[in-house]
Structure 1
Amino acid sequence: MDVHRLELLRELAERGSVTAVARATNRTASAVSQQLKVLEREAGIPLTERHGRGIRLTVAGRALAATATDVAIALERAEAVWEDFTRQPRGEVTLTTFPTAGEMLLPGLLHALADVPGLVLSCTDQDPLLPDFADLTPDHDVVIADASGVLPSWRERGLTVVELMREPLDIALRPDHPLAKRSKLSPADLVDEPWIGAPREFPYDRILTRIAAIAGRDLDVTQRFFDNGIAEAMVAAGHGIAILPRYTTRDRENGLVTRPLTGIRSERILWALVRPDRMERPSVRVVVEALRAEAAAYTERMAARGVA
């Protein structure tokens, strides 16, 4: 079987439609369909079936798509052997992140990789409302994700998952708030407060759900924002309290204090997600290792400043 047609089948499994595969591979939808039909003849059994207005993979198609991943890994490994032989990780590596992770990690990462000859790191940021960061892995070599643990969809895709850092999530309030006099806050301290919340099912919102469960009643969430800067401004103006990340909350000098939350695990975990075939490239491995080192260094710098 032709490896290029196998790769199209894999892309169909990842992207869900012929149109999406055509767009991603710079082909027409007709050309993609023709190549898939040729692959089906080579395989000798149906690989796709009609589904609504489009097509989907059969059981055999899904099995062959998984094999296509193994083929891609083997090809990338072969190329990696050659690149390792030359000792030079080269080429462009694309990385995408959500805004606050980029704020913390990208400046130092770019400094760390600036002297690697032949390596070009191209970075972008993404909307933090994205349902699953794994959806970005077909289009980017490295994806920085925010989740409380390894998600089932990451395992199902066979992604390489690297934990980068853990950032505590604190309670943010005005300096003149009565609770600001305390060094730590418990769920019982917070149940009667008005809250500036995050969108439902965001990591911050899940912590509010745990506080409500411990209290045995709903919390008064008056507003919801996914932008932390807006939440900071609302808290500083006295409209409520909020859960905000410890390292990237900026407004401490202009109207905010933060206090750790006790009795509940309150943190977010930053991960690097990479498709396994791309992880075989020396250049991608260099970026991931530098990213992990920068995350550790950033955490140490925060501790030295008394923020951790």
Structure 2
Amino acid sequence: MVDVGALRALRSVAELGTLSRAADELGFTASAVSQQIKRLERQVGVPVLAPAGRGVVLTPAGQAVVDSASEVFQALERCAEAARSASEGAPSGVLRVVAFSTAVRGLLAPVLPRLKARCPDLRLHVVELDPDQALHGVESGTADLAIVHDADGLPTPVPPSLAQRHLHTDAGDLVVHREHPLARAAQPLDCPDLAGHAWVTSPPGSVCHQWFRRLVADVPEDPDVRHLVDDFATQLSLVASGDVIALIPRLARPPLGEELVSLTLRRRPEREVTAAWRRSADASPAIRAVLAELGSPTPSDG
């Protein structure tokens, strides 16, 4: 019989291209992964990997094994989830959740107290990952539930093996010092209102920087970007100095205190936030419990 651990190791090597990368993903040493692959080759009776430069490639037999692997893992997971749901159905154990940073802060953290009270035997293990990495983690089996956002209005491609549910629409607001001239302007603000002001923004390549560039696209002069800062709390500390303004997602926004105010924009940027999990885990009481809590309103809404 084929060893499931060795099958998982082969699939990881096939996806990542090297034994060392697969070992990092699986939490093993490269030597341990190599031994698992050799054990699998003894079980199927043919080589499944061949050297290719500094990496490895699948043999035709190895590709055939990997092509069948997803059905094996889905069947095993359905079997386990059926057993759990056939018992009392009380969520228990560890649920591995991967999510982008502001979802951890704005969606997950607020529901953890309710979840703990409702499901005392369930523990969440949360890891911060960008959407592409998060979906790969769920698909490969190293995570159970992903929270992801779209990419500048384009939905993140979700593999067919994963189910998904819309959780939240996040929006961006302008944050300024209470004494800033814009704090006294009529809302919602239009594009011309943004001209002539200094900014702190997220670095290029981030979704929030794309939001910023689209927001100021029709401003006649180039925007005066004084600072490029990835951390939103640091952005807000610079806004508190009174010299700059910032575009901040609501999920990323802590209480502003007395010095800062948020202002609505007529063309406010938005992003859709979804949850994704393996279809074979649909019956998981733990996933259902977390999704139920995430479906409740949070303080970040509105």
Is it true that 1:284 corresponds to 2:287 in the alignment?
Answer: yes
Deviation per CA, 1:150-177: give whole Å up to 9, x if none.
323x437x43333211121011122233
Cα deviation for residue 60 of structure 1 reads 6.3
Question: Residues 230 and 79 from structure 1, CA distance in 2 versus in 1: closer, same or farther, beyond 3 angstroms?
Answer: same
Q: Which amino acid aligns with 1:237?
A: S
Cα deviation for residue 141 of structure 1 reads 2.1
**2:162 aligned residue:** 159
Is it true that 1:55 corresponds to 2:65 in the alignment?
Answer: no
Partner Cα distance (2:40, 2:175) in 1: 57
Do the aligned residues in 2 keep the contact of 1:12 with 1:21 (CA within 8 Å)? Answer: yes
Do the aligned residues in 1 keep the contact of 2:149 with 2:155 (CA within 8 Å)? Answer: no
Question: Residues 43 and 248 from structure 1, CA distance in 2 versus in 1: closer, same or farther, beyond 3 angstroms?
Answer: same
Do the aligned residues in 1 keep the contact of 2:150 with 2:272 (CA within 8 Å)? Answer: yes
Is it true that 1:271 corresponds to 2:286 in the alignment?
Answer: no
Query: Sequence identity of aligned pairs in percent?
Result: 29
Residue aligned with 1:170, SS: strand
Number of equivalences: 295
Structure 1 range deviating more: 97-106 or 178-187 = 97-106
Provide the aligned C-alpha RMSD in A: 3.2
**1:103 aligned residue:** 105
Indicate which of 248, 251, 268 corresponds to 1:244.
248
**2:34 aligned residue:** 33
Deviation per CA, 1:28-48: give whole Å up to 9, x if none.
433433443454566677643
Residue aligned with 1:6, SS: helix
Partner Cα distance (1:187, 1:155) in 2: 38
Once the two structures are superposed, the pairs formed by residues 137-156 of structure 1 within 5 Å of their partners are 137=138, 138-148=141-151, 149-152=154-157, 154-155=158-159
Once the two structures are superposed, the pairs formed by residues 1-308 of structure 1 within 5 Å of their partners are 2-4=2-4, 5-25=6-26, 27-37=28-38, 39-40=40-41, 47-57=48-58, 61-62=62-63, 64-88=65-89, 89-116=91-118, 119-126=121-128, 132-137=133-138, 138-148=141-151, 149-152=154-157, 154-155=158-159, 158-180=161-183, 181-215=185-219, 218-246=222-250, 248-250=252-254, 252-263=256-267, 266-291=269-294, 293-294=295-296, 297-298=297-298, 301=299, 308=302
Residue aligned with 1:257, SS: strand
Q: Which amino acid aligns with 2:264?
A: P
Do the aligned residues in 2 keep the contact of 1:207 with 1:266 (CA within 8 Å)? Answer: yes
Q: Which amino acid aligns with 2:122?
A: V
Stretches of structure 2 lacking an aligned partner (at least 5 in a row) = none
Q: Which amino acid aligns with 1:121?
A: R
Select the structure that is richer in helix. Answer: 1
Q: Which amino acid aligns with 2:8?
A: E
**TM-score, L = length of structure 1:** 0.79
Do the aligned residues in 2 keep the contact of 1:76 with 1:277 (CA within 8 Å)? Answer: yes
Cα deviation for residue 230 of structure 1 reads 0.9
Residue aligned with 1:214, SS: coil
**TM-score, L = length of structure 2:** 0.80
Deviation per CA, 1:70-104: give whole Å up to 9, x if none.
21111111122222221323322122444433333
Question: Residues 106 and 9 from structure 1, CA distance in 2 versus in 1: closer, same or farther, beyond 3 angstroms?
Answer: same
Residue aligned with 1:204, SS: helix
